[in-house]
Structure 1
């Protein structure tokens, strides 16, 4: 039986801060870990579908934002090295 063919029911509780822990069984089936993203889809019939989002392989700026949140900004003022010297000055 494939993972998608199983009918799994687990219960989570909503905390006072409106947070929900994704149960281990569901994390295992979705193959997600901390820092992964999941997508919640509400159907017109009221059913909710939760699935793992596919990471954008070429989303460079999303990666930059994540690194900035983790390590802070790396922007530094440009250093003034003085006047440029042309190659004619190296005779």
Structure 2
């Protein structure tokens, strides 16, 4: 598939719907440009667990809490 997009005077492009659908992009997704000598490829950036964790740390701060207290242990559970 070949799809064109035009760059604006502010060096911005709109990702064509066919490409958004193909890459399964949605709002706030990040795309990655892989620039090589023979061209550029784009792909949806995979979630980076530690990157997400760092964003949460920055937004909410460090939360040092003890282990969750689920109450007293009942004993062994029998699962049918």
TM-score (norm 1): 0.57
**Higher helix residue share:** 1
Gaps of 5+ in 2: 62-80
Gaps of 5+ in 1: 1-7, 69-73, 76-91
Q: 1:55 — aligned with what?
A: 47
Say if 1:11 and 1:57 are closer, same or farther in 2 by CA, change over 3 A: same
Q: 2:8 — aligned with what?
A: 15
Please report the RMSD computed on the Cα atoms of aligned residues, expressed in angstroms.
1.9
Alignment of 1:70-81 (within 5 A): none
Q: 1:36 aligns with which of 29, 34, 47?
A: 29
Please report how far the alpha carbon of residue 30 of structure 1 lies from its aligned counterpart in structure 2 after TM superposition.
Answer: 0.5
TM-score (norm 2): 0.64
Count residues in correspondence: 60
Please report how far the alpha carbon of residue 16 of structure 1 lies from its aligned counterpart in structure 2 after TM superposition.
Answer: 1.2
Q: Aligned partners of 1:62, 1:56: CA distance in 2, in Å?
A: 11
Q: Aligned partners of 1:64, 1:17: CA distance in 2, in Å?
A: 33
